[in-house]
Amino acid sequence: MSSPIRPRSTKKLSQIIVENLIEKIQSNEYKVDEKIPTELELIDQYNVSRSVIREAITELRSLGYVETRHGIGTFVKEQKEEQSFLLSNASLETINDIVSLLELRISLESEAVFLASERRKDTHIQKMKVALDDFESHIGPSANDGTVKADYDFHIAIAEASENQYFVDFLKYLGEKIIPRARVNAAEKSTLDLEDYLKAVHHDHMNIYQAIIDQDGLLARQMMRAHLSKSIKKFRQ
C-alpha cells in the first residue's frame, strides 16, 4: 500500500486522484479499451476511502475519460480531439475560477434572455414561475441549498424560452456548477448573510422575469447583466 495522499492547497483528495488518473491515461499507462484498476485496488493504491474513489471515478466518467461496463469494470475511452473543452468540478476550485465562469455566463445569458423576451411562450413563463416560487419557498432563517436547483431551473427556463437549443445544451452541460454558491464550501458560506443574499437574488430574478413578460429585451438583458455582475463583485470581495 502506498503512503496516503494529502490535499495540495484547497484540492480535495478526489480531485488529486482524478488528475493522477488522467495523467496515466494521457501517458498511455492506461490504454484505450483497457480496464483501469478496480475500486478496491484504487482504494489500496491511494489509501483513501471508498467514497473518495467513487467520487473520482464519477468525475472521470463525466469528463469522458472512462466508461463503466456493468458487471465488468471501468474502461478507458477513446478521446476525440474535438472534445477539447471540458469543465470539471475540479476546474472550479478557487474564487477566481468561479468569477471566470460568471464572466462567461454574462455574455451567454445576456443574449439568451434578450431572445427569450422576444420568443417566450406561456409554457416558458409558467416554467420560470414554478422555479421562482420554488426558490422563494427555500428562503428563510434555515436557508439551504434547495435554492441551488431552483436557481438553476430558472436560468434553464430562460435558455429554453430563447428557442435556441445551443443555449440550453451549453447551460445543461455546465450543470448546477453555474450557480456560484454551489461551489463555495461550508466555511465560506458561514461568513455570508445567506438569507439576505438569497432575497436579493430572488429580487433580481423577479425583475428579469417581469422584463421577459413585458417582452422588453433590452431591459431583460440589462437586468441579467446586472444580476451576474453583482455575483462577480460579491465573490471578488
Task: Note the Cα 192 to chain centre separation in Å.
Answer: 20
Region of 230 (left: φ > 0; alpha: ψ -120 to 50; beta: rest) is alpha
For the segment 214-225, the average pLDDT, to the nearest whole number, is 97
- Average pLDDT of the segment spanning 193-218: 94
The tally of CA atoms less than 13 A away on the side-chain side of residue 203 is: 8
For residue range 56-97, list pLDDT tens digits in order: 998 898 788 899 888 899 999 987 654 555 555 555 567 787
Same domain for 170 and 72 = no
Do residues 165 and 197 both lie within one domain? yes
Is the pTM higher than 0.85? The answer reads no
Note the pLDDT of residue 6.
54
125 and 158 fall within a common domain: yes
Give the CATH number of the domain where residue 138 resides: 1.20.120.530
C-alpha closest to that of 227 among 191, 194, 199, 203: 203
Which of 26, 50, 76 is where one domain is finished? 76
Same domain for 208 and 112 = yes
Establish if 70 belongs to a structural domain.
yes
Tens of pLDDT along 4-51?
555 444 467 888 999 899 999 988 999 999 999 999 999 999 999 999
Mean pLDDT of 97-107: 88
Distance CA 187, CA 133 (A): 28
Tell me the three cell numbers of residue 184.
Answer: 463555495
Most confident segment among 67-76, 167-176, 201-210: 201-210
Query: Is there a single domain that holds both residue 42 and residue 105?
Result: no
CA nearest neighbour of 9 among 76, 86, 95: 95
Locate 66 and state its grid cell. Answer: 472512462
Q: How many alpha carbons fall within 13 Å on the CB side of residue 146?
A: 14
- Alpha-carbon distance of 98 to 220, in angstroms, equals 23
Predicted pLDDT of residue 188 = 46
Question: Are 168 and 156 a contacting pair, CB within 8 Å?
Answer: yes
Q: Which domain holds residue 43?
A: 13-76
Question: Of 155, 202, 196, which Cα lies nearest the Cα of 176?
Answer: 155
Examine the domain organization and report whether 117 and 58 are in the same domain: no
On whether residue 218 sits in a domain, the answer given is yes
Q: Is residue 230 part of a domain?
A: yes
Query: Residue 178's pLDDT band (boundaries 50, 70, 90)?
Result: confident
Q: Please, are residues 10 and 94 in contact by the beta-carbon 8 Å criterion?
A: yes
Whether the per-residue pLDDT at 145 is higher than 60: the answer is yes
Same domain, 97 and 62: no
**What CATH number is attached to the domain comprising 32?**
1.10.10.10
Q: What is the pLDDT of residue 9?
A: 44
Count the domains in the chain.
2
Task: Determine the Cα–Cα distance for residues 210 and 87; give it in Å rounded to an integer.
Answer: 32
